[in-house]
């Protein structure tokens, strides 16, 4: 007669096996089981968490979009444009939904960040000893705005092209450094395929790495300092 | 609070300086790598076929032309948003009352929108912010503060062709 183990026994065996090699249970306990003070149960303490969830959604939907998006603006219509309009929006199963979630999360993200920062400002949570975390947060705000800026060009439609044209002109109007900034952003003498290649690289390779690193730092500092007490 | 320079202090600063120099030697070329190469902005001749021969164009009239795919014209001069060396994707060949021909880049000197020749008003009009220029490219009405940019050109092989100085722009248009 075969002995069928209880599922619980399998679970215990797996966890024991893992714990003998690395203190996983301890690490999970420390990460998960933290008491939340009563004053932090107010709804406006949730905005930061909502930002975290939205960034997670962005990473997830962004990875899915990258399966079909082609960062190539050469030709007319360009592959970048058709890969969004035809392939992602009309051919891929649920492509419109993945892109829709990416689009709306991006918009909501900025709203939630503003609300989160307003809450932190209102409750005075930026004060000592948490100034450094405020600074990290401001850097993350700038990174999210850079995400928005670079992501806006990627569909390579008329709106994207002219919005970026305006962006580059604003940069190019900087005294002294203007032409250098323009060249650096455009990747050449005019807004074209080189510009899309750059914005794509920044949007997909550089900024996600930075935001994940800074979020980790942000959360570790919150854990170290605790949630600030109300005024 | 200045401390005397000790042997240890000197060596620490020396090593820190060395490490910084090594870091800079690695980072600096990478930053230059990101800056786009300038070699692709070699100018070349772009042959344009006009709607009509240059000689057939009436005085106080202008005709528009567009750069072929993968090319752009080079501005010869210009102020405001335009500048020498910047790219224009279209231009106007214009003849003033005395019959003198000029070739302009299409871009308004205010913010670079495409101006349109309006024969009824005898003006180049910008649809974006209402700047207006006369047939010689001079400002008649703001907000543009500088005249239209000129393009370098010469007569082409046939009567209705001109050769304009431009860039090769891979993948554009």
**Residues A54-74, mean pLDDT to the nearest whole number:** 96
Domain assignment of residue B21, given as a range: 1-35
Structure confidence by residue, pLDDT tens digits, A152-193 = 999 999 999 999 999 998 998 899 998 899 989 998 888 889
Based on the domain organization, do B50 and B102 belong to the same domain? yes
Q: What is the mean pLDDT of residues B42-48?
A: 81
Distance from CA of B161 to the nearest CA of A (A): 26
The reply to whether A89 falls in a domain is yes
**Record: contact A73-B171, CB cut-off 8 A:** yes
Structure tokens belonging to residue A185: 């952003």
- Strand ranges, E, within chain A: none
The DSSP-derived string for B133-151 is: E-TTS-EEESS--SPPPBB
In a domain, B62, yes or no: yes
Is A206 within 8 Å of chain B by CB?
A: no
CB contact under 8 A, B36 and A73: no
Q: Mind listing the pLDDT tens digit for each residue in A19-34?
A: 999 999 999 998 888 8
Residue B91 and residue B103 share a domain: yes
Provide the angle, in degrees to the nearest 10, between the axes of the packed helices A95-122 and A131-153.
Answer: 150
Residues 77-96 of A with CB under 8 A from B: 78
Q: Kindly state whether residue A15 falls inside one of the protein's structural domains.
A: no
Same domain, B68 and B22: no
> Is residue A196 less than 8 Å (CB to CB) from chain B?
no
What ipTM is given for this predicted complex?
0.73
Q: Which pair of structure tokens corresponds to residue B129?
A: 């912010």
Average confidence (pLDDT) over A135-146: 97
Q: Contact B111/A169, CB-based, under 8 Å?
A: yes
Q: Which residues of B touch A75 (CB under 8 A)?
A: 171
Residue B13 to residue B18: CA distance in whole angstroms? 8
At A47, list the tokens: 């905005």
| Shared-domain flag, residues B93 and B146 | yes
Q: Is residue B102 part of a domain?
A: yes
Identify all chain A residues contacting B35, using CB atoms and an 8 Å cutoff: 180, 183-184
Asked if B115 and B144 sit in the same domain, the reply is yes
Say if A111 falls within a structural domain: yes
Domain count, chain A: 1
Q: Which phi and psi (to 5°) does residue B12 adopt?
A: -60, -45
> Among A216, A189, A170, which residue's Cα sits nearest to residue A52?
A216
- Give chain B's domain count: 2
Whether the upstream peptide bond of residue B34 has omega within 30° of 0, thus cis, is: no
- A231 pLDDT exceeds 80? no
- The CA distance from B112 to the nearest CA of chain A, in Å, is 10
Phi-psi region of B165 (alpha: psi -120 to 50; beta: other; left: phi over 0): beta
User: Is A75's CB within 8 Å of B171's CB?
Assistant: yes
Report if residue B173 sits inside a domain. no
Nearest-CA residue of chain B relative to A186?
B36
Query: Do residues B75 and B144 both lie within one domain?
Result: yes
**Does B152 fall in a domain?**
yes
Is residue A4 classed as helix, strand or coil in its secondary structure? coil
A20 domain-assigned: no
A191: left (phi over 0), alpha (psi -120 to 50) or beta: beta
- pTM recorded for the entire structure: 0.82
Binary contact (B35, A184; C-beta < 8 A)? yes
Query: For the domain that residue A160 is a member of, what is the CATH number?
Result: 1.20.810.10
In chain A, DSSP finds a helix count (H) and a strand count (E) of 10, 0
What is the span of the domain harbouring residue A185?
43-225
Contact: B40, A186; criterion CB under 8 Å: no
């Amino acid at each position: 007669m075969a002995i069928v183990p209880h599922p619980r026994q399998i679970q215990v065996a797996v966890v024991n096996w893992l714990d003998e090699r690395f203190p996983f249970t301890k690490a999970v306990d420390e990460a998960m089981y933290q008491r939340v003070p009563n004053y932090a149960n107010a709804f406006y303490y949730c905005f930061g968490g909502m930002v975290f969830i939205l960034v997670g959604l962005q990473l997830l939907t962004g990875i899915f979009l990258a399966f079909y998006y082609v960062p190539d603006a050469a030709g007319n219509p360009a592959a970048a444009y058709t890969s969004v309009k035809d392939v992602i929006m009309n051919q891929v199963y649920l492509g419109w939904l993945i892109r829709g979630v990416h689009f709306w999360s991006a918009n909501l993200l900025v709203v939630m960040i503003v609300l989160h920062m307003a809450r932190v400002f209102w409750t005075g949570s930026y004060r000592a000893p948490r100034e450094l975390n405020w600074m990290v947060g401001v850097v993350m705000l700038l990174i999210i705005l850079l995400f928005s800026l670079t992501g806006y060009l990627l569909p390579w439609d008329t709106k994207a092209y002219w919005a970026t044209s305006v962006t580059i002109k604003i940069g190019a109007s900087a005294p002294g450094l203007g032409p250098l900034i323009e060249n650096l952003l455009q990747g050449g003498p005019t807004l074209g395929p080189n510009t899309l290649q750059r914005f794509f690289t920044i949007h997909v390779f550089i900024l996600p790495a930075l935001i994940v690193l800074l979020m980790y730092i942000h959360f570790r500092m919150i854990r170290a300092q605790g949630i600030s007490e109300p005024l | 609070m200045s401390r005397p320079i000790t042997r240890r202090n000197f060596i620490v600063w020396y090593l820190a300086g060395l490490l910084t120099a090594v870091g800079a030697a690695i980072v600096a070329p990478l930053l230059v790598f990101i800056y786009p190469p300038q070699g692709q902005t070699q100018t070349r001749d772009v042959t344009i076929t006009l709607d009509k021969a240059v000689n057939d164009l009436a005085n106080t009239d202008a005709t528009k032309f567009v750069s072929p795919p993968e090319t752009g014209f080079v501005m010869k001069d210009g102020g405001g948003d335009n500048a020498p060396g910047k790219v224009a994707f279209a231009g106007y060949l214009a003849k003033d009352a005395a019959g003198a021909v000029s070739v302009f880049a299409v871009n308004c000197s205010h913010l670079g929108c495409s101006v349109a020749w309006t024969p009824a008003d005898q003006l180049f009009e910008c649809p974006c912010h209402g700047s207006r220029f006369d047939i010689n490219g001079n400002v008649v009405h703001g907000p543009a503060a500088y005249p239209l940019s000129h393009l370098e050109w010469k007569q082409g092989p046939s009567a209705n062709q001109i050769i304009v100085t431009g860039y090769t722009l891979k993948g554009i248009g």
